[in-house]
């Protein structure tokens, strides 16, 4: 039976003031994922899209594949495949709705009541980035309204791998136990 064990859990607090960035490299071996919490204030009526991810100034955003998930608390709002560490989301009525995932209920984002959590599970490729290069921005369709940045909370980077005992190790352990039992018999 394969069980998942957490090999590395690194929790970093991203400060809104000047902070030291922590450099992290995600590689496909080990099912790496990034997760962060965010908050965003009430939005103007013209804001109908949300952009989350890494700033492009950190280098090419392509070359990876993964699955992004957006949550409001523990409720999954939308999940989809992505070819960069980040994504845009939209309301059903926006011009982006044909090319990006739709958030069925955009009201918590518009009202500033979302208990936001965004995750990215890397499935192929690799990416190196600074932890303070993540962003959350709400904006208007086609960029017609000025963007409003969100505030990041905790950024968590983890590597989860499947632990499978080697057959040789199990055999050696079984023989050792058998030897102990046989040695104790009169």
Across 119-124, average pLDDT: 86
Q: What's the start-to-end Cα distance of the chain, in Å?
A: 37
* The predicted structure's pLDDT at residue 20: 55
SS3 for the chain, per residue?
CCEEEEEEEEEEECCCCCCCCCEEEEECCCCEEEEEEEECCCCCCCEEEEEEEECHHHCCCCCEEEEEEEEECCEEEEEEEECCCEEEEECCCCHHHHCCCECCCCHHHHHCCCCEEEEEEEEEEEEEEEHHHEEEEEEEHHHCCCCEECEEEEEEEEEEEEECCCHHHHHHHHHHHHHHHHHHCC
* The predicted structure's pLDDT at residue 171: 64
Across 11-31, average pLDDT: 52
Token output for 63? 């070359």
Least trusted range by pLDDT, from 10-14, 15-19, 127-131, 139-143: 10-14
Rounded to whole angstroms, how far apart are CA atoms 32 and 157? 8
Rounded to whole angstroms, how far apart are CA atoms 73 and 63? 30
- Tell me which residue range forms the domain holding 38: 3-184
* The predicted structure's pLDDT at residue 182: 77
* The predicted structure's pLDDT at residue 77: 93
**pLDDT, tens digit (0-9, with 9 covering 90-100), for 61-92:** 567 888 999 999 999 999 999 888 888 898 88
User: How many domains, in total, are found in the chain?
Assistant: 1
């Amino acid at each position: 039976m394969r069980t998942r064990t957490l090999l590395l859990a690194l929790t970093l607090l991203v400060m809104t003031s000047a902070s030291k960035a922590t450099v992290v490299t995600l590689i496909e071996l080990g099912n790496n994922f990034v997760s962060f919490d965010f908050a965003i204030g009430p939005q103007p009526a013209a804001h109908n899209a949300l952009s989350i991810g890494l700033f492009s100034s950190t280098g090419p955003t392509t070359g990876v594949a993964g699955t992004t998930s957006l949550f409001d608390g523990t409720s999954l709002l939308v999940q989809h495949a992505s070819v960069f560490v980040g994504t845009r989301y939209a309301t059903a009525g926006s011009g982006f709705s044909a090319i990006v995932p739709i958030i069925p209920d955009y009201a918590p984002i518009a009202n500033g009541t979302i208990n936001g959590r965004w995750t990215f599970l890397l499935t192929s490729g690799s990416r190196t980035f600074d932890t303070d290069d993540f962003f959350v921005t709400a904006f208007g369709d086609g960029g017609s309204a000025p963007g409003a940045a969100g505030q990041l909370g905790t950024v968590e980077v983890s590597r989860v791998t499947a632990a499978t005992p080697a057959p040789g190790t199990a055999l050696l352990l079984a023989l050792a136990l058998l030897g102990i039992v046989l040695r104790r018999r009169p």
